[in-house]
Amino acid sequence: MLGETALQSLLLVFEGVGVVAFALSGALAAVRKRLDVVGVVLVAFLTAMAGGTLRDVLLDRSPLFWVEYEHWLWVVMAIGVGSAIVLRARHFEPTARAIQWPDALGLGVFAASGTQIALDLGSSPLIAALMGVTTAITGGILRDVMLNDLPWVVASFQLYAILALGGGLLVWGIGALGASPLVAVASSALAISLTRVLSIAFNWSLPNWRQNDHTGVIDLPER
């Protein structure tokens, strides 16, 4: 019982960390696109909440996590408004790299926690890992669509969705080896986020089989 309570507490903490990280990522991207404060808050909300919302709907889990924990709505709104006011007052334009750091943290905690939530509800390892991917990448896709960018999650050969899937399977694998879910979730979240940070720092990417073919290559917007 104590272990179960500790696990639920960790999942709640990870959900909160993911919400804050992705809300900041969305807010920075929206400010970079020079949206007004309403647009910044909306993009921050979608980036932070869309993945968990879709996961809960697919798993028939109610109430939705942000309905049950309403205070996260206030946190997201504060991040959006604060980012719009502070960054513009200081005439600071977020760089692409600045947006990616909080996004990397959100990826790890959302992928790991989303997977464990699905496992707790009786999902198979593969379905649970896909629920982790859903939790981790849906918000970023909507963020890019809202900002009229081609979602780099699926178009830029970056190590992103594949890290979420691998990390989700790692959650199950560590648990299958006898470790507690608490250890499985925490270690997997750390592994995903750390690998993502390293991939950003050292420009690691998936093989691009069209790198020498200049016909039909999609030009991604500079980030």
Q: State residue 211's pLDDT score.
A: 55
The region of weakest confidence among 113-117, 197-201, 215-219 is: 215-219
pLDDT of 223 above 60: no
pLDDT of 217 above 60: no
Tokens of 46: 């979608």
pLDDT of 47 above 90: yes
pLDDT of 193 above 80: yes
Strand partners, 158: 205
137-160 burial string, b = 16+ CB within 10 Å, else e?
A: bbbbbbbbebbebebbbeeebbbb
Confidence of residue 205 (pLDDT cuts 50, 70, 90): confident
Q: Cα-flanking dihedrals φ and ψ of residue 205, to 5°?
A: -155, 165
Q: How many CB atoms lie within 10 A of CB 112?
A: 32
Q: What does the pLDDT average to over 125-138?
A: 97
Compute the mean pLDDT over every residue in the chain, rounded to the nearest whole number.
Answer: 89
Residues 6+ apart with CB under 8 A from 208: 157
pLDDT of 162 above 80: yes
Q: Cα-flanking dihedrals φ and ψ of residue 90, to 5°?
A: -95, 5
Confidence of residue 144 (pLDDT cuts 50, 70, 90): very high
Count of CA atoms in the C-beta half-sphere (13 A) of 63: 6
Residues 6+ apart with CB under 8 A from 159: 195, 196, 199, 204, 205, 206
Confidence of residue 221 (pLDDT cuts 50, 70, 90): very low
Q: State residue 93's pLDDT score.
A: 67
Q: What does the pLDDT average to over 182-191?
A: 97
Q: Please, are residues 107 and 160 in contact by the beta-carbon 8 Å criterion?
A: yes
Q: State residue 75's pLDDT score.
A: 96
Q: State residue 219's pLDDT score.
A: 47
Q: State residue 119's pLDDT score.
A: 97
Write the pLDDT tens digit of every residue in 90-125: 666 677 778 889 999 999 999 999 999 999 999 999
User: What's the CA gap between 107 and 164, in Å, rounded?
Assistant: 7
Q: Please, are residues 3 and 182 in contact by the beta-carbon 8 Å criterion?
A: yes
Q: How many CB atoms lie within 10 A of CB 58?
A: 14
Tokens of 43: 């993009």
Confidence of residue 151 (pLDDT cuts 50, 70, 90): confident
Confidence of residue 59 (pLDDT cuts 50, 70, 90): very high
pLDDT of 55 above 50: yes
Q: Where are the domains of the chain?
A: 2-202
